[in-house]
Every structure is written in structure tokens, then in C-alpha cells.
Amino acid sequence: MTVAGEEMHLLVERLYPLCRSITGDGVRATLEIVGEYVPLEVHEVPTGTQVLDWTVPQEWNIRDAYVADAAGNRVVDFAASSLHVLGYSVPVSATMPLSELRAHLHTLPDHPAWVPYRTSYYQPEWGFCLAQDTLDALPDGDYEVRIDSTLADGHLTYAEHVVPGQVPDEVIVSCHTCHPSLANDNLAGIAVATFLARALAQETPYYTYRFIYAPGTIGAITWLARNAERVERVRHGLVLACAGDPGRLTYKQSRRGDAEIDRVLRHVLAASERPHHITEFTPYGYDERQYCSPGFDLGVGSLSRTPYAGYPEYHTSADNPDFVSPEAMADTLALCREAFAVLDRNRRYVNLSPYGEPQLGRRGLYDSLGGRSDAKQAQMAMLWVLSLSDGEHSLLDVAERSGLPFGAVAAAADALHGAALIKA
């Protein structure tokens, strides 16, 4: 277990109790906590704003909600878990028999001890989510039903953190902030993104890295609508979700399927020998489908461990901080750092001595290999870089074609560049 893994898990535990949705104070409170780790630029977009084919909805906030029996005991209590209320429930204050209340109660009969996560964003509705065991134990009779919420004109809130690079071309890292008490989906992704931003800030990356914290679907659409000019600078991107469960790493490719980010993730996952799975793009899932929509067609893939809906705990109260581990989040973070190191270092070069093989010994390049256990690999890497440095092939092309580790290829390129045998 790494220190970063432990700290990410502590962040998940801090964020877990907050009631998040696509708008509202829960999102703001979440971003305020994340802002303690990395500075954020927070954006507020008013209700009614047209964003592409969508409109920013009314803002939802909730203060309290419960179902109480005749003795006043809260048999369902929002204070115990934000999952207990149907997301975006309109306010209600009434007394009704259980027979009438049942139409507004949501359970998981197949997992009777778990509470489901349900929402009703774009149509007025109210309801409660509870364990089937709890429902089965309720006697007939009248119940007090109260949801102290507001649905009114306000704002959609999202935030950005930028790690400046050597060039203005950008890599976007996106995570969703719209789910309530769900640790893997979405808090682990928020935690990994945040600690990835902190790690990159300690380096001098080649690309500029833009981290986007936004509610799912409507948030990414809002960001795209408000950043039409910046989108032209986005070269690569990654959506992070379900980043802390015990499953193997899963990379979902961009719509293009052959974007540089796709090739980098395929290469790094294979080279790392981690258990993993590569999936083709589908226009369903997380916000990669917004960034990859044909009008934008950005090279954005999605990294998770077990994909959405692929584990029984998905969108239930069982997706709690005990379900995610420091070790899994640390592994996801490490994979991101390895992939971005390749992305940042991938260049095309031109051989400045392309007629025949240049004499490496005269330039001290063979001497530099003396005594190294990987001398043969390093020598082959130099020869491959020289052979494919025609301005058309990148270092990733070299690594893929030669079967050599990208790190060895990049080190060879550095040595050859230092000897003035290649130029970027």
C-alpha cells in the first residue's frame, strides 16, 4: 500500500457522505474539498443556458427527507445515507398509507440488504430508496412522508485544474461529480484524477493537462459547449471512473480506435503485464461518448477497473469505502502516470546521418553501454531509432515494431539526439 493510496482512500471517505447530483450544493461542497488538494477554477452556468442540444436544468438541493411510522420513528432516513432519496425528488409533505407509498419506494429484491441508487433528473417525481429487508418489515398503516428539497433556477457547477506544460496542446482528464454516496463510481475516479494532477505538477510535462470535474453527460456537454476554441487544442484525453475496485484494469478505446491515447494504453498495459482488458468503443458509458461525438471526434478513451454495471455493487449502497482499496487506486494512478509518461515523450525524429549506419563507437555511444546488463537491448534500440527516424514514425511506432520497451527506445533517442545524429 502506497502513501498516495492511503491518502486517496481518505479523500474518498471524506467525500462519501455528501449528497451529490448533477447540480447543487453537494457538488460545490465536493469541489471545495478537492480544492484543498489542487487549486480549482470553479464555473457556475445559469439554469436555462443552451449548451449544444441541451439546456442547463434547474438546480436541486435537499436538506432533509424521511419516512416515519405512526410512532415518529424514521424508518427511511436521508440523514443516514444520501442514497435513501430518489435524486432530484421534488418536495413532498404528506401522510399516506403504505399501500399508496409503495409506488414511490425503490428496492433491490435480488440484494435485499442493499439500497439502490435511483434518480429522476428531467421529470418531476419523488421517491425513496431502501433495502428490501426494511420494506418487508414495515407494517401496514399510515406513514409520514417528507422531502425538504428545492428545485429552482440556479446553476450547474463544474471545475477545472490546469497543469501547465511546455506546449499549449492539451490532454484532458475528466471525472464525473454527480453521484451521491458511491465510492467506486464516482469517488475513486475523482481521487485518482486529483492525485494524478498533484503528481504532474511536480514535473514539467510536455503537454498542458486539463482536469475537468463535472457532472456526467450534462457537465461534459456544458464544458464542450463553452470551450469550442479550446477543443481544437485537445490532442488526447482520458475519462476516469470506477477506479478503485479489486477488478482488473479495463481500457475502453476512443471512437477512433487508433488514436494515440489508444495505442499508448494498449502498449503500456501489455508491457506492464498487469491483468487487463481492452474494449472497443460503444456510444454508451461515461463521458468519453460526449468527447468522442462525431462533431468533436476527440481522441478520448476511458480507464476503469471493473467497467460500469459490471459488478453487483454498482449503483448500490454496497459501493461504499470498504469496497474500494488504497492498493487498487494506487495501481490505477500508477498506470495513468506510466501512460502519460509515454504520451509526453512520444516524438518523431529525423535521422541526420541517413546514408548507411552512422559510426556509433566514434561518438562514444557504444562506450556508454559498457558494463550495462541491458547493453544489447540499448544497442538494438539505437539501431531501431536510427532506422525509423524518417519524420514519419514516432518513438511509439519504434517500440511497437521492435518489441522493445518504450523506455529503452526513448533513452536511445535521447542518446542519439545528444550525439547530434537525430533531430526532433
Residue ranges at the known binding site for Zn(2+): 179, 185, 315
> How far is C-alpha 12 from the geometric centre of its chain's CA atoms?
14
Give ∠ CA 60-63-65 in degrees, rounded to 5. 100
Q: Which residues contact 221 (CB under 8 A, 6 or more apart)?
A: 51, 52, 54, 290
Helix (H, G, I), strand (E, B) or coil at 330: helix
CA distance 235 to 217: 21
CA distance 75 to 91: 18
Closest CA to 308 of 291, 288, 322, 327: 288
Task: Locate 91 and state its grid cell.
Answer: 418536495
Provide the Cα torsion 268, 274, 277, 280; round to 10°.
-10
Per the annotation, binding residues are 179, 185, 315
For 327: left if phi > 0, alpha if psi spans -120 to 50, otherwise beta; the answer is alpha
Q: Which residues contact 267 (CB under 8 A, 6 or more apart)?
A: 342, 396, 399, 400, 406
Whether residue 419 contacts residue 367, with contact meaning beta carbons closer than 8 Å, is answered with no
